[in-house]
Amino acid sequence: MVENRPFTTFLSHLVVIVGVLIIAFPVWMTFVASTHDQQTMLRSPVPLLPGPYLFDNYTQVLLQGFGRGFGGAPIWVTLMNSLVMALGVALGKIAISIISAFAIVYFRFPFRMAFFWAIFVTLMLPVEVRIVPTYGVVANLGMLNSYSGLIIPLIASATATFLFRQFFLSVPDELTEAARVDGASPMRFFWDILLPMSRTTIAALFVIQFIYGWNQYLWPLLITTKESFYTVVMAVSRQANVVDATPSWNLLMAMAMLAMVPPVLVVVFMQRQFVRGLVETEK
Amino acid sequence: MEKRVTFNERWLPYLLVAPQIVITLVFFFWPSGQAIWQSVLIEDAFGGNTKFVWFDNFVHLFSDAAYYTSARITLVFSTLVATVGLAVSLLLAVMADRVIRGAGLYKTFLVWPYAVAPAVAGVLWGFLFNPSVGIVAWLLSGVGIEFNYVINGNQALLLVVIAAVWNQVSYNFLFFLAGLQSIPKSLIEAAAIDGAGPGRRFWDIMFPLLSPTGFFLLVINILYAFFGTFGVVDALTKGGPGQATNILVYKVYSDGFRGQDLGGSSAQSVILMIVVIALTVVQFRFIERRVHY
């Protein structure tokens, strides 16, 4: 603090607290809605404080989904799908990026720079832009309605490759020399020296990519037509589209809470890695 | 920058880059090439015959009033998302930077919306503003404002902007806060000794020093508004009512998958690719400059 101005300090706190409350408000209302029964949620105005049906609502959506002929898989199935997809995308991206960065930094071979640029240009086009032909390719390969179709097309990653490349370039050459003098093969050097040193970078990337994978929407929407492959974000959005016809706001909001909680917990509990990953992947 | 010490292996490096390169070729270069190729073809509705038509799809697109409408909506939408998002998060970051006690806690309370999927964010805000049960819609009708985003186009656009900004605030906030915290305290103290008040110090010292961060975030937010908001739009309005929230990236999807107009959709894809590439180049040029800054 540069100077003591109690009033401006108070004002600063006030502004931030109001901001936090406004930002948290939609989630509070979602939580409240998920703890009431259907009738209460149809009366306007809706209640502002939690009700007694928390357990009932959550067990119903988890085990039965919306039920009563309105379709939708039980939410635990979609949560598992989202988990598989998020872990697959995060670990897949890290795995293929770290080895390609290793090749590009630690070896000299023909077409090295061509490979580097081929990876680089993928930075430029988000999947939303080339969605129709990418769908066509995945359909031709017979990967619709499968975990490989959900995961593999999303794991090519220029950002992760760059991040590892930057990190490897900062690793002292003496380590490589020492390893070579001791007769270590390149892969031995990779496993025993480089990989352990990359731990913090891997953790930061993991948090970012886990959230990216969990929150994917357009991609699973296109390539899954079977309910057993729906992700939780898709399930929420699908039910939201029919909620006026089947007014179970309480169940929909319980589903929305379940879709939000895992990635939010990851961010809150791995906040340091999250901030690091966010700042570094965007450079 | 290159490594001085490297390994000598003939086949190993190819093996190591192979997974990344194969996936990039199959799921990136092939579809992108197809998008460009399809953008100069016309395919009949049953996928039977295709005809090479040069730039007819583009000519058709640029004489289509709906495309201009969509482009104009995208412009309004991204301007609003970027300016409102940056202003709100800058305000929060400056205030959070000023307080000493509780700053860490405030940060935790402000970062989590980033983790909420855009589609889920759309559902949340749709619930608050739902014409029959939404609490905010009810409050607004209490003060005489009929808010019904299902039938009112401008209100639908406003709601999509609110949900999109909400989703992006934490990202902007973190970068602004990091930028503010990297400003040397001695500069601020010197200004304070010279008698500059908090407002003066903000506008004359912090704001100019934050401008690189601000510019970077501006590009990121435009990219976000262009491409990252698909889920918000799809969950809230599906591009409607009418065309009111049909932003360009949503139109690519709805023309391609619902309208089955592959040529037109691919032509739109190609135009969007050019937009992204241009924005990315701007961003990279800027980052190069920031290194020397």
pLDDT in tens, B176-223: 988 888 888 888 888 888 888 888 888 888 888 888 888 888 888 888
- What are the residue ranges of CATH 1.10.3720.10 in chain B? 56-292
Residue of A97, A123, A264 with shortest CB distance to B112: A264
CA A198 to chain centre: 21
Q: Write out pLDDT tens, residues B32-44.
A: 888 787 777 766 6
Q: At residue B288, does pLDDT exceed 80?
A: no
Largest CA distance in chain A: 77
Q: CB distance B256–A173 less than 8 Å?
A: no
Residue of A96, A136, A215 with shortest CB distance to B117: A215
The pLDDT of residue B8: 81
Q: What's the predicted TM-score (pTM) here?
A: 0.87
Q: CB distance B273–A129 less than 8 Å?
A: yes
Structure tokens at B126: 């749709």
How crowded is residue B250: how many other Cβ atoms within 10 Å of its Cβ? 23
Provide mean pLDDT across the span B256-285: 78
This model of the complex carries an ipTM of: 0.87
d(C-alpha A192, C-alpha B62), whole Å = 58
Give the Cα-Cα-Cα angle A44, A50, A54 (nearest 5 degrees): 110
| Test mutation, B124, B132, B254, chain A, max A CBs within 10 A | B124
Q: At residue A283, does pLDDT exceed 70?
A: no
Chains A, B: CB contacts under 8 A, how many? 300
- Is the CATH number 1.10.3720.10 carried by domain A67-281? yes
The pLDDT of residue B291: 42
Q: Write out pLDDT tens, residues B58-68.
A: 877 777 888 88
- Shortest CA gap B233–chain A (Å): 11
Give the contacts of B90 (CB within 8 A, at least 6 positions apart): B172, B176, B210, B214
Q: Write out pLDDT tens, residues B101-147.
A: 777 888 888 888 999 999 999 999 988 888 888 888 888 888 878 88
The pLDDT of residue B273: 81
The pLDDT of residue B90: 93
Q: Write out pLDDT tens, residues A166-197.
A: 889 888 888 888 988 888 888 999 999 899 99
Q: Write out pLDDT tens, residues A19-59.
A: 889 998 999 988 888 888 877 777 777 777 887 877 888 88
- Cα distances (angstroms) measured from residue B167 to each of A23, A25, A241, A267, B186: 9, 13, 20, 14, 35
Q: Which of 1.10.3720.10, 1.20.140.10, 1.20.59.10, 2.60.40.1180 is the CATH number of B56-292?
A: 1.10.3720.10
| Beta-strand pair B41-43/B50-52 | antiparallel
Please provide the average confidence, as pLDDT, over all residues in chain B.
83
The residue among A99, A277, A283 whose CA lies nearest residue A202 is A277
The DSSP string of chain B is ---SS-B--SSHHHHHHHHHHHHHIIIIIHHHHHHHHHTTEEE-TTS--EEE-TTHHHHHHHT-HHHHHHHHHHHHHHHHHHHHHHHHHHHHHHHHHH--TTHHHHHHHHHGGGGS-HHHHHHHHHHHT-TTT-HHHHHHHHTT----TTT-HHHHHHHHHHHHHHHHHHHHHHHHHHHHHTS-HHHHHHHHHTT--HHHHIIIIIHHHHHHHHHHHHHHHHHIIIIITHHHHHHHTTT-STTTT--HHHHHHIIIIIS--HHHHHHHHHHHHHHHHHHHHHHHHHHHHHHH-
Least confidently predicted of A90-99, A127-136, B77-86, B270-279 = A127-136
Helical (H) or strand (E) element with A258: helix A249-269
Provide mean pLDDT across the span A224-233: 85
The pLDDT of residue B85: 93
Provide mean pLDDT across the span B12-16: 90
- Shortest CA gap B280–chain A (Å): 7
Provide mean pLDDT across the span A111-118: 86
The pLDDT of residue B102: 76
Domain positions in chain A are: 67-281
The pLDDT of residue A124: 66
Give the contacts of A153 (CB within 8 A, at least 6 positions apart): A127, A134, A137, A138, A143, A219, B23, B27
Q: CB distance A218–B132 less than 8 Å?
A: no
Residue of B35, B115, B287 with shortest CB distance to A266: B115
d(C-alpha B39, C-alpha A133), whole Å = 11
Q: B266 or B288, which is more confident?
A: B266
d(C-alpha A58, C-alpha A41), whole Å = 16
**CB contact at 8 A, A186 and A105:** no
Q: CB distance B96–A16 less than 8 Å?
A: yes
Q: What is the DSSP letter of A177?
A: H
Q: Is A52 helix (H, G, I), strand (E, B) or coil?
A: coil
Largest CA distance in chain B: 78
Beta bridge partners, B42, equal B51
Structure tokens at B192: 């304070």
Q: Write out pLDDT tens, residues B65-101.
A: 888 888 899 999 999 999 999 999 999 998 888 887 7
The pLDDT of residue B110: 87
Q: At residue A86, does pLDDT exceed 90?
A: yes
The pLDDT of residue B214: 86
| Test mutation, A122, A128, A181, chain B, max B CBs within 10 A | A128
d(C-alpha A16, C-alpha B130), whole Å = 27
Percent of chain B at pLDDT > 70 equals 92
Residue of A2, A115, A279 with shortest CB distance to B178: A279
- In B142-161, the residues whose Cβ lies within 8 Å of chain A are none
Q: At residue A77, does pLDDT exceed 50?
A: yes
Residue B173 contacts A, CB cutoff 8 Å? no
Structure tokens at A167: 């990190």
Q: Is A107 helix (H, G, I), strand (E, B) or coil?
A: strand
CA A204 to chain centre: 13
Confidence band (pLDDT; 50, 70, 90) for A244?
low
